[in-house]
A and B are shown apart, each in its own frame.
Chain A
Amino acid sequence: MNLKNGNRGFIRGLVHRPLTYRVLRPLLDLLTLREENQAFRIWIHFILEVTRKAYGRKGPVVWMNAFTPTEMVYGLGAVPFMPEIIASLVAYMGQSRRPIALADSRVSTDVCSFYRCALGLVLEGYLPKPDLILSTSYLCDGANKFFHDLSRIYGCPHLMLDPPYNDDPQGRRYMVGQIRDAAEEMTRILGLSWNHEALARALVLSNQARRYMVGINKLRRAAPSPFPGSEGLSYLAGMNFYSLGSSMGLTFYGYLHQELKRRVARNRGYLPQEVYRILWLHHIRPYYRNDIFDFLGRQKAAVSFEEPNYLYWPYLDPHKPWEALAEKILSNIWAGPLERRIRAIEQIVEDYGIDGVIHFSHWGCRQSCGGAGVIGDRLKDKGIPYIILPGDGADPDNYSPGQTRTRVQALVEMLG
């Protein structure tokens, strides 16, 4: 019994050809001609570029999870590939059902739909084969085993950094040691040598982008909100995970900063009218077509800020790369005690003048959803209206429009 057909093979062939991405670029440029926000077009260029390089094997292909610092891989001269981000893109394009269904023949349906989507794409042979997988055990158990299973499927090595829970001197030393060990392993496996200048340059680029991120986050405090949370949760978060340490990443943030300065100077909000300001918690949103953000917009509720773009790491010292990378990893507020995450949320609520908070509880995401109760209690203590919105970021079959609408509407009514 064979489900595959000729069409699928043809598309797969196209996806694997670097030329496809070169051709797509001018096409997408044309489609986005009217887009005022230049940064958006840089995002498209960026994603086409990294994908093209990965399929074209313009360097060793290193698969990573979202919270492993990309500076390390750019600094090595390797090509990063992030299946989690690709899975969200596939969901955005409305193509996630099929790979998820295929993954369900291998793994339980109770696990994260992004991993199931990525696994399905792997099983269908759509993704560029990794030479190495590098991940950290932040933020979730799922990632660890998901990537390990992939390394079995692809027959390639998997290096997993396992950050300590506490960010103290002992923990730092442990982390730095692990990064050194991993760096050594990587050069051995990939047949590359560390060029300290390249690594320093990646950190410098990351720092420069970071400065823009600080500026962007400050500009977004303005009322009316100049930048929509739905975009913050899509390509802005995407660039945050994928582009730091690359020059295109810096260009992107520069353009975005400029764009937001312009909007704020003209007092232009992204909504025609803004009455409420919402904070969205969790790193993702449903990427397939859904009505949530439009609905909020119609209720004059702007999603003014979203969790993934909270800037948690400090300036990274390019002269001490391993220490810098350890610092970036260990300052992650979503790891370690929940208290860190809660304090950041309270800070955001204050800085952005937030009226109401939505915690998007994504299917299969225990690490995030498990904190939703305590977070809610703390916000309620401060009198901030809060809802938990159960949903699924990647699987449209797991989306209940009616139930979602009811909850979101209830929040808006709480604000009124």
Chain B
Amino acid sequence: MAGSVFAGVDIGSLSAEALLLGEDGVLAYAITATGAYPEQAARRCLGEALDRGGVREEALSRVVATGYGRIRVPFAGREVTEITCHGRGAHYLFPGTHTVIDIGGQDSKVITLDDQGRVTDFMMNDKCAAGTGRFLEVMAAALETDLEDMGRRSLEAKKGVSISSMCTVFAESEVVSLIAEGHRGEEIIRGIHEAISRRIFRMTKRLRVRGEITFSGGVAKNRGIAKALRNLFGMELNIPQEPQVVGALGAALCARDMGPKGGDGSFRPRPL
């Protein structure tokens, strides 16, 4: 359909993303905070993306919602999980992707794809803060460092101090003790990055991970994590320019590929 614009909205527990997809590719996107009300967050975020792209709401052919708050988006034509959407989005950006590692603010996931970019298996960590952006946040606070500086500082250390606790709360105590014992901040930070990466790496061991690996989510902006993961996997990682919108991109792709309204009667989650 000429001139059709499709939108994907990804409502996470902390941040919301919206992305507009046109004939020629990505038109615009927006990243906002979710706050307490997912529906409002979705509207706001989509509104911002529309403004940026100079697209009127009436021009939207279809919207698909994904993420934690996906069932609270009444104007979406369908809701699809963030697993499928991250798979689609990563494959679109890097067609050789066979594994997606997504580390967000409050969860992390690993997704394996076949050669056509379809999901073959997945693993989620949504119960425990260790191995998510939250872990970094807590540690940054304990070290009185800006979250944005953590990655850079970790790269300044030649080696990291080992953090052994599995749990964020105990790891924080451990970090505080390490500071008191006089360890260098950079080495502690590097240890933190290695701990997160190890945790992610362990998660992937349950799946048949193979290359190429695409790294998405807010934490993908952290060069320290990227480097630690690169070392553990022994290969380069694809990192999108804006790693946080991969889910919204995937949702927009689902919207585009949904076909005419009504479909062929096959698999259909309950209508919203």
Q: Are chains A and B touching in the complex at the 8 Å CB cutoff?
A: yes
- Listed in ascending order, the chain A residues whose CB lies under 8 Å from chain B are 1-2, 101-102, 104-106, 396-398, 400, 402
A1/B166 in contact, CB under 8 A: no
- A1, A106, A396, A397: the one contacting B234 at CB < 8 Å is A1
Q: Which of B11-19, B61-69, B201-209, B238-246 contacts A (4 or more CB under 8 A)?
A: B201-209
- The answer to the question of B165 belonging to the interface, with a C-beta cut-off of 8 Å to chain A, is yes
Interface string of B206-235 (1 = CB under 8 A from A): 100111000000000000000000000111
CA–CA, A317 and B165, complex, Å: 51
Considering the complex, give the chain A residue whose CB is closest to the CB of B207: A105
**Beyond A1-B235, A2-B234, is A397–B164 a contact (Cβ under 8 Å)?**
yes
A98 to chain B, nearest CB (A): 11
Q: B-side binding surface: helix, strand, loop or mixed?
A: loop
Chain B residues with CB below 8 A from A1, complex form = 209-211, 233-235
A227: min CB distance to chain B, Å? 32
Shortest Cβ distance from residue B182 to the other chain A in the assembled complex, whole angstroms:
20
Residue of B nearest to A398 (CB): B166
Interface residues on B, range: 10 to 19
Are A105 and B166 closer than 8 Å at their CB atoms? no
Question: Closest approach, in angstroms, between the C-beta of B232 and any C-beta of chain A?
Answer: 8
Alpha-carbon distance between A102 and B202 when the two chains are bound, in angstroms: 8
With both beta carbons as reference points, the residue of chain B lying nearest to A403 in the complex is identified as B170
A400 to B171 alpha-carbon distance, docked (Å): 11
Alpha-carbon separation in the docked complex, A106 to B234 (Å): 22
6 pairs, A vs B, C-beta closer than 8 Å: A1-B211, A1-B233, A101-B202, A105-B205, A106-B206, A398-B166
What residues of chain B lie closer than 8 Å to A402, measured between beta carbons? 173
Expressed in whole angstroms, the Cα–Cα distance for A106 and B202 within the complex equals 11
Residues of B within 8 Å of A400, CB to CB, are 170
Shortest distance between the CB of A263 and any CB in chain B (Å):
38
Determine the distance from Cα of A396 to Cα of B209 in the docked complex, in whole angstroms: 28
CB distance from B97 to the nearest CB of A (A): 15
Q: Is the CB of A397 within 8 A of B206?
A: no
Does B202 lie within 8 Å of A396, measured CB to CB? no
Distance, CA A106 to CA B205, complexed state (A)? 8
Are A397 and B165 within 8 A (Cβ)? Answer: yes
Which B residues lie within 8 Å of A106 (CB)? 206
Contact A397 B166 (CB under 8 A): yes
Contacts of B209 in A (CB 8 A): 1
Distance A104 CA – B203 CA, assembled complex (angstroms): 9
Q: A2-B234, A402-B173 are in contact. Are A104 and B166 (CB under 8 A)?
A: no
In the complex formed, the residue of B with least CB distance to A107 is: B206
The answer on a CB contact under 8 Å between B202 and A105 is yes
Q: Which chain B residues lie closer than 8 Å to A397 at the CB level? A: 164-166
CB distance from A238 to the nearest CB of B (A): 27
Q: Is the CB of B164 within 8 A of A104?
A: no
A102 to B198, CA, bound (A): 12
* Residues in A neighbouring B165, C-beta threshold 8 A: 397
Shortest C-beta distance, B123 to chain A (Å), equals: 10
Q: How far is the CB of A172 from chain B (nearest CB, A)?
A: 45
The residues of A that contact B202 with a CB separation of less than 8 Å are 101, 104-105
